[in-house]
Structures are given as structure tokens and as C-alpha cells.
Amino acid sequence: MTGEETWATQPIPTKPPPFSRQKFTVDDLNPYISAEDRAKFRDQILSARNEGLFTPPGKGGTVQMPGNNGGANWGGAAVEPSKGLLYVVSKDLPCLLRLDQDPEQDKLLAASAGERYYSGFGFMVASNGLSAIKPPWSSLTAYDLNDGTIRWQIPLGNVPELAAKGIRNTGSHYPKVGPVVTASGLIFTGTRDRYVRAWDSSTGKLLWEFELDEALEGIPAVYQVDGRQYVVFCVAAQVGLTPATQVKIKGSYVAFALPPQ
């Protein structure tokens, strides 16, 4: 903006490597959206300021990646101290930001406040509800905290509409979930594709999955009663990618446990 200057340098960590993509160009456009949407996003990207992770927003369009609703935005991380491993759920959701003035809001501000500018979320989402960027849209990443490297990284879940066509391992869309890890080395989390899953924490190998009636969100709760361990999931998320495909759902909590010994 006029009168503003960005700092000359920006600290960039050398370790660990990022768990989300840090840029979005025309080479990263989603192949599962319409030609019209691809052309629209291509024009937006080429006409916007797009200089990487810390490109500042302005009156013209600015590409933001992994997006203000992306990265490890929701759900946090789980840590396995005995192995020195950290597990984080993340999503890639590019945004196009543009600063505009809001006359109605400006009326509410004191004259001494000066000019105020605002920006929406600017999600770059196609008419079919999918992100403008190609998959994976969400990931589960395991970091080795002893040497600052990624031990393994996998797409987290699927999109039911694409999975029905045989297109899998895309990661789910708009995840609002987080992982938990048990002392025996199991990672549990749910996704919007209606599945709860368990992975081997050392390798990322899928060990178990179970489909529920509705999509999942939130962080599983793990507890013990009379020596028996339970893991509980919140089954209360929308599945449809667009408002037209979303229906009213009946939320619930579902608990899992091993058979009594």
C-alpha cells in the first residue's frame, strides 16, 4: 500500500522442511475442475502479484499460499516423545487477496483512525466446490524432531465424489480434524469422507479404517475405563462440496474399543 514498506529480509528456516506447499502457479492448477474455471484461475494468477509465501496484499490481487485457511490451521499436532516424532494435519487452500475500502465500516471509525482497508478470505474455489490447486488438498506429516526431517507424509483421506470415479489419495477437502497418537504407536484421525483411520506412527502405513454415516471433524478423544481404552470421534461435518450438495445431518459421537479380553 502507498506509504508502506516491507522489511528487506524475512527469516526462512532451513529445517524442518515445510509440511504444506508454499507457492501456487499456473502449473499447479487442479485437473478435476472445468476448463472455464481453469481459464479463470489462470488469468487471476498471471495478473496477480505472486512472489511467494510472504507476498503482501494490496489493491491489486495477491496470491496467498498455503492460504489464510490453509497450513496447520485447525486441529494442532500430536507428539510421540518416546520416538521424537510429531504428527500434523495440514491443508493447501490458495487464496486471492485484494484490499478494498468499506465505506460503511469507515463511518464507524473515528476520523483520526485514517483510511482502513479490508479483505475477505478470497478462497480460490471452483464451481464444483474443489480448490483451484491440484491435490493433495490435505496431508498427514510425520516429523523426526531429532534431525529435523520429514519421516513420512501421506494424503489424508479422499473426496467421495472423486473416489466414486476411482480418483483416490487426493486428501479430503476442508478438513477440520486433528490427530491423536497412542502409547502403542497408533495414530487416529477422521476425515470428511466419513472414514476413521488408524496408521502405524513409525511408517504411515494404514492399518485400519471404518466408514461412518456422516463426515467427521474435531480431534478424537482417548480415555480409559476399567482398564479398557476407548477412542471417540465427532461425527457432525458436512460432506457436500457446494451448498447445493449439502443436506441437514444428525450429528453424533461414536466410540471405538477393542473387544474385552
Predicted confidence at residue 197, as pLDDT, reads 96
Closest among 218, 204, 213, 210 to 256, alpha carbons compared: 210
Predicted confidence at residue 240, as pLDDT, reads 62
Alpha-carbon distance 111 to 16, whole Å?
Answer: 46
- Phi, psi torsion values for 105, nearest 5 degrees: -70, -40
Given a contact cutoff of 8 angstroms between Cβ atoms, the answer to whether 161 and 61 are in contact is: no
H-helix segments, 57-199: 103-107, 160-163
Predicted confidence at residue 3, as pLDDT, reads 81
Alpha-carbon distance 90 to 77, whole Å?
Answer: 10
Low-confidence ranges of the chain (pLDDT < 70): 103-114, 239-246
Q: Cis link prior to 135 (omega < 30° from 0)?
A: no
Predicted confidence at residue 172, as pLDDT, reads 92
Please report, for the chain, the start and end positions of each structural domain, with discontinuous segments joined by +: 26-257
Q: Cis link prior to 179 (omega < 30° from 0)?
A: no
Alpha-carbon distance 31 to 54, whole Å?
Answer: 27
Question: What SS3 state is found at 40?
Answer: helix
Contacts of residue 35, Cβ cutoff 8 Å, sequence gap at least 6: none
Closest among 31, 21, 119, 26 to 70, alpha carbons compared: 21
Predicted confidence at residue 251, as pLDDT, reads 86
Closest among 31, 96, 38 to 65, alpha carbons compared: 96
Amino acid at 253: Y
- What grid cell was written down for 196? 476413521
HSE-CB at 164 with a 13 A cutoff on CA atoms is 3
Predicted confidence at residue 33, as pLDDT, reads 96
Model pTM greater than 0.75? Answer: yes
- Phi, psi torsion values for 104, nearest 5 degrees: -65, -40
Given a contact cutoff of 8 angstroms between Cβ atoms, the answer to whether 154 and 204 are in contact is: yes
